[in-house]
Amino acid sequence: MTKKVLISTGGSGGHVIPAITIYNHLKKTHEILISTDVRGLAYLDKNYNTVIINTPKLNNLFLLPFSFIKILSLTIKSFFILKKKKISILISTGGYMSLPLCLAAKILGIKIFLIEPNMVLGRANKFFLNFSRKLICYSKNLINLPHGINHKLTSIKPLIRKEYYETIAYQKQDNLFTILVIGGSQGAKIFDELLKKSFLSIAKQASIKVIHQTSEKNKNFLKDFYFQNNIESRVFSFDHNLNEVLQKGDLCITRAGASSLAELSFLNIPFIAIPLPTSKDNHQYENAKYYEKQDCCWIVNQKNFDDQKFEKFLLKLINKSQDYITKKNNLQKLNYQNTWNNVNQKIIKIINEN
């Protein structure tokens, strides 16, 4: 009998991308349903069997009593969904969105598996750790991990979308050093402000191309800036084939979301991480630190950003210094034997354990 699985996700791509990847790993062997909030729907097309659980945030003290009532209501709704659909396994990708479903699953005695893509254990995952069968993570050296829980940890290679494994190697048609700027589809406004001045200075000393992801509202401004300064560029806010876009880069400047770093790492693209300073529990910095410790990336502190130092640093990398080559080689070693089939077999084995 096919086991029925519900994957709980929502919010940002950091939660939804691992959910999509797990869905694709399990869809041939299990019957899958994905729950998400309204924000998460932006990442899910009609191919996914979805249900909406729009959990409120718990960060407003004034609205806290109303939020608790809403969560109680959603827990009852989740209870009946899980029972009606005969779900036997719940997989949560973390975040406050998972609260009602995890609570309902606990009441029904459904197996709960938690996924932690970050190097810092998330608060929702920490709360449900005692109720879960396994915590699936990328490193067993998680920050904020309670004592006596190690037996629940199981590590896998980072969850990377299937199309990344199928990406065809890009053949460069020019001698331009291509710099990627990835700030997510919402854009990182600070990237636009900090980097364009540096690129203008560097373009006078080296042959570069810039592929720059920004917000929809800032797209035309950046396009005009690069055009007026004769810098070859492509500016975009969203691309369904991001793997093909990334493949064209020699170097990436990025935030430090777990999925973004895993994908850049897998594509063997050295990256400069500028972690979001306000990320919860400073998890973006810790994500980047994981790669820095293995000599696979560089970390730049946004608060201490010095454009002159950054320009000198970039110029060295553009000239493919030994440091750049070392990072590229280390990324290749890090992803040795990282295949879709290897990850697939491990996930199925974990989920099917009694």
Q: Which residues contact 44 (CB under 8 A, 6 or more apart)?
A: 16, 20, 34, 36, 50
Q: List 209's β-bridge partners, or say none.
A: 178, 232
Please tell me whether residues 60 and 206 are part of one structural domain: no
Average pLDDT over residues 6-33: 93
Please tell me whether residues 18 and 148 are part of one structural domain: yes
Please tell me whether residues 145 and 182 are part of one structural domain: no
Left (φ > 0), alpha (ψ -120 to 50) or beta: where does 10 sit? left
The number of C-alpha atoms within 13 Å of 307 and in the hemisphere containing its C-beta is: 13
The larger pLDDT score, comparing residue 348 to residue 218, is at: 348
Please tell me whether residues 116 and 243 are part of one structural domain: no
Please tell me whether residues 123 and 225 are part of one structural domain: no
Please tell me whether residues 212 and 134 are part of one structural domain: no
What pLDDT shows up at residue 57? 80
Tokens at 135, concatenated: 């915590």
The number of C-alpha atoms within 13 Å of 64 and in the hemisphere containing its C-beta is: 4
- Indicate the range of 20-34, 42-56, 87-101 predicted with least confidence: 42-56
Please tell me whether residues 71 and 207 are part of one structural domain: no
Residue 354 has pLDDT above 70, yes or no: no
Please tell me whether residues 148 and 19 are part of one structural domain: yes
Average pLDDT over residues 113-137: 95
Residue 187 has pLDDT above 60, yes or no: no
Confidence of residue 216 (pLDDT cuts 50, 70, 90): confident
Please tell me whether residues 173 and 310 are part of one structural domain: yes
Please tell me whether residues 320 and 199 are part of one structural domain: yes
Range of the domain at 54: 4-160+338-352
Residue 10 has pLDDT above 70, yes or no: yes
Tokens at 229, concatenated: 């300064």
Contact between 156 and 116 (Cβ < 8 Å): no
- Indicate the range of 28-37, 58-67, 252-261 predicted with least confidence: 58-67
What pLDDT shows up at residue 286? 97
Q: Is 254 helix (H, G, I), strand (E, B) or coil?
A: strand
pLDDT tens for each residue of 65-104: 888 899 999 999 999 999 999 999 999 999 889 999 999 9
Average pLDDT over residues 222-248: 92
Mean pLDDT over each residue of the chain, to the nearest integer: 91
> How much of the chain exceeds pLDDT 90, in percent?
71
Average pLDDT over residues 4-29: 93
pLDDT tens for each residue of 283-307: 999 999 999 999 999 999 998 889 8
Q: Report how many domains make up the chain.
A: 2
Residue 184 has pLDDT above 70, yes or no: no
Contact between 291 and 273 (Cβ < 8 Å): yes
Residue 186 has pLDDT above 70, yes or no: no
Average pLDDT over residues 278-285: 90
Average pLDDT over residues 223-227: 95
Please tell me whether residues 236 and 270 are part of one structural domain: yes
Please tell me whether residues 9 and 122 are part of one structural domain: yes
Average pLDDT over residues 155-183: 90
- What is the rounded distance in angstroms from the CA atom of residue 227 to the CA atom of residue 248? 20
What pLDDT shows up at residue 66? 86
Q: Which residues contact 279 (CB under 8 A, 6 or more apart)?
A: 256, 285
For residue 348, the domain's CATH number is: 3.40.50.2000
Residue 278 has pLDDT above 80, yes or no: yes
